[in-house]
Each structure stands twice: as structure tokens, then as C-alpha cells.
Amino acid sequence: MPKSPNRGIGKADALCWFGATGDLGYKMTIPALYAMARHGNLNVPVIGIARDELKLVAFDERIRASIDEHGGVTDAKALDHLMDSMHYVHGEYADPATFTKLKRELDKVGAKAPAHYLAIPPSMFGPVVETLGSSGAAENARLIVEKPFGRDLASGQELNRIVHSVFPEDRVFRIDHFLGKEEVQNLLYFRFANSFLEPIWNRNYIASVQITMAENFGVQGRGAFYEEVGALRDVVQNHLFQIMALLAMEPPLGMGDLALRDGKERVFAAVETMTPRDLVRGQFDGYRSEPGVVPDSDVETYAACRLHIDSWRWAGVPWYLRAGKSLPEKCTEVHVELHSPPQRVFADSDVAEGHGNYVRFRFAPEISIAIGARAKVPGEAMVGSSRELYLCNEYPDEMTPYERLIGDAIRGEGLLFAREDGVEQAWRVVDKVLTKHSPALPYEPGTWGPVEADRLITKDGGWHDPVLARPTSETRV
């Protein structure tokens, strides 16, 4: 078992942001830092590090342009505070002189416990970590690193080895922005804050679990990037696995973030290794015409898989996960199918109109929870229809995932970050099928992927395609 993560390391006193002029920084980090300033949570100096030889005034202009593009300035004092907090260092990431300049800036602001945030290409993770160590800039510091954490089990283990040669596990914060979403945290809260769910949350009552992450657009000009990852690496192995872990984890042994995190990470070790027959890969027609995509590409833009968790709670319960681009809807949803009642009391109680009872969690486009049940239709006949008890949070989250995650890492709170053991076990689950698999099957944009994915579910009612229309009967809060 790894060392207790992130316990007692205190707060960072500076944020060293590598990749400060990159695309991720422009779209995500700068708006997050501005939001932190608006909410009074930006209490440390920020040192941007990048290869571009910019003057501080040019860096400031880039920050203002990003804020203007992503919502605009709504709080002039917060913007002034952000600008006053910013510093800039330029230089190559492999050049020790860059880290000498960084150390000089850290001394200038009096930082003794910085947080080094790597928003840079994965190929640079190792060299930057090693140079942080040799330069002395890693002393009493912590590391925040973006995904992907490797490309397979071997590279993930090697990256962890390099990271741990400089930073102990309790000072490593691996960002998966999906864990910073309000709707994902709502799932965790709902599971353990309500007593009615736990008695049925096991193989005795649950027949199957489906997790769908659908996008109704293609790769949007990022064909070269997708050629390197594909849907299995980009979405399933991280985002959907994290949802699965929150659904499958045992109740924590005690209170607090550490107990919750331990419960979540233990799930990955119990997931059986995926085999080729558990995976169907698809590629939407037209993908090979995208810029940066090779003419004979076999990269999947759709992946559907079947998993089993080897535990007392989940023995015999299949978990079906799928993610894809150019599908009919943009929606992320969990469908937990319950077993049918043991006796058929009414003639229509198992008609094809509805399957068994279910619990449904939707993360996007809205945050909602629904319970599917059958209720009698008014009249003399003892017949019913499927209805939903539906709870929806229509208030958008004021805190973006990056604002929450960067703030948590600065404060030393580790619950929403991936841990060493979980990362390696997640790669272990998919490692064999990353290279040993069937060809990607074509599917038409606007459909739910290749029909061959239906073979993964021979029972359990087939795939439950998310429908974005409101239920006909609902109870709302």
C-alpha cells in the first residue's frame, strides 16, 4: 500500500506553471486562475514558465485575451490581483539555466514550498521532473501533473519511477479534470450520504451497470492528437474507469478524504484484465479525412467494453462502458439496472416497454438522478407504465474543474487526484487489448456506434441509449 497520500503536507506558497503559453493554459488554466482570484482563493504568487521569449507585458496581454475569450472580465479587482501575482520565466525545459532562473524567482517571492504544475507535452514530464530534482527546485515542493500518465502499463510504471525519484507519492497530484467536475462529486456524495441505497447496492439486487460518454461531434481538427491516443486511452481508461470506481467502491473505513480515496483506488485492483472478446472498437466514417490522420488509420473513435469486478459485492455483475465521437447526443450517463421482482404478479410487469427498475445518474448536459419504477395507470385494469422519479440540479457549477483541482493541490487535498496504485492498475486492466484487438469497425456519424457492440450485451436489455427529453412524470427539486 502506498504511503498515505497528501496527508499533512500543508499549503504550497507558490505555483510554478510549466507550459504557461500553451493551448491548455489559454483555455483552462488562465480562466481557472482568474476564477480563483474572483473567489478569493488565489493567495500565492504564480510563476509562468514557457519556451516563448515573452516580456511580462506580453504575457499579461495573453492572460487578458484568454479571460476576454472565456467569459470576460467581471471583477476588475480580481483581474488586478491576478496580474499582480504573475511572474514569467522563459527558457527550454531541458536547459538547466531555465531552472536557475526559476530558483531566482522563487527566492524573490520568498517561496519555500512551491507547487510545480506540468501543463506540458507528456514527453517532457520525465526531463522536467529530473531537472527540478537536480536544480534543488523540488526541495519541499509538490508536483501537479496532467494526464496522460503513460501510454500503457510499462510507460506508466516508468513515469511513476521517474516521478518518485524526486517527489514522494504524498507530494504528487495527478490531474484528471473529470474528477474535478461537480457532477462526479455529486455521485460520490449521493452514494454515501443516503442510507436507502447501500442495502441494494450489490449483486443481489443489481443486474448490470452501464456507463456511456457520448459526444455528438468529431475530433474537431485534433486528428493528429487522436492518432496518438484513441478513445480507449483518451476516455475509457481514465474518465469512465474513475466513474466505475466511485460506483463500485466499498464504504470508506472512517471519515475524511484519505479513507474515501483508499476505497476508490482499491477498486482498480479488483477489475479483471480485459480480453479482446470484451472490447469492440469503432471508427466513424470520415475520420480518415481529418487533417493529421493517416489514410489507413485503425485508431478507434468509439470503444465499448465489458468488465467484471472480482469482489464479493460485484461477483457476476457485468459492467458495460462505452465512449465515442460523432454519436447522436452529447451526454454522459450511468444506468444501473436492477433485477426484476422474483414473482410476476401482474401480466404486464415485465413488458418490453420498460426493463427492470433502475437508477440513472446523468452528468451532462444537466446533473440529474432518476429512479425508474412502474406505476399503475388510472382505471379499472391492473396495468401500469414505466415512470421516473427525477431530481435535477439546474444551477450550473460556479467552480470549474481546473479551479477546484489547482486549488486543492495548492492546499494539499488529494481526494480528487489519481494515485500511483490506481493509475498502474487501470493500465493493467487494458494493457493487453491496447495492441491485441480486432480492427476498428466503421459506423455512420449520428448513430450509436458499430452494431457489433451489441454482442457485448446478450442480456440485460441491451444498451440504454441516453434520451435527452424530459421524463413524462417527474419529481423535481
C-alpha radius of gyration, the chain, whole number: 24
Name the nearest CA neighbour of 120 among 110, 112, 131: 131
Cell numbers that stand for 324 in this block: 465515442
Q: Answer whether the bond into residue 291 is a cis peptide, omega within 30°.
A: no
- Alpha-carbon distance of 83 to 74, in angstroms, equals 15
Cell numbers that stand for 155 in this block: 510507460
Name the nearest CA neighbour of 128 among 154, 175, 96, 155: 96
Strand duo 142-146 + 172-175: pairing = parallel
Determine the 3-state secondary structure of 166 from DSSP: coil
- Alpha-carbon distance of 172 to 162, in angstroms, equals 12
Catalytic residue among 116, 177, 239, 437: 239
For residue 239, indicate whether it is catalytic: yes
Determine the 3-state secondary structure of 88 from DSSP: strand
Name the nearest CA neighbour of 404 among 186, 87, 194, 192: 186
- Alpha-carbon distance of 453 to 64, in angstroms, equals 46
- Give just the sign of the alpha carbon dihedral 15, 17, 20, 23: negative
Determine the 3-state secondary structure of 368 from DSSP: strand
Alpha helix ranges (H) inside 178-337 = 182-193, 223-231, 241-248, 257-270
DSSP letter string, 263-308: HHHHHHHHBPPP-GGGEEEEEETTGGGSTT--TT----SEEEEEEE
- Alpha-carbon distance of 231 to 218, in angstroms, equals 12
Cell numbers that stand for 228 in this block: 496518438
Q: 39 — phi, psi (to 5°)?
A: -90, 5
Give catalytic residue positions.
Answer: 239
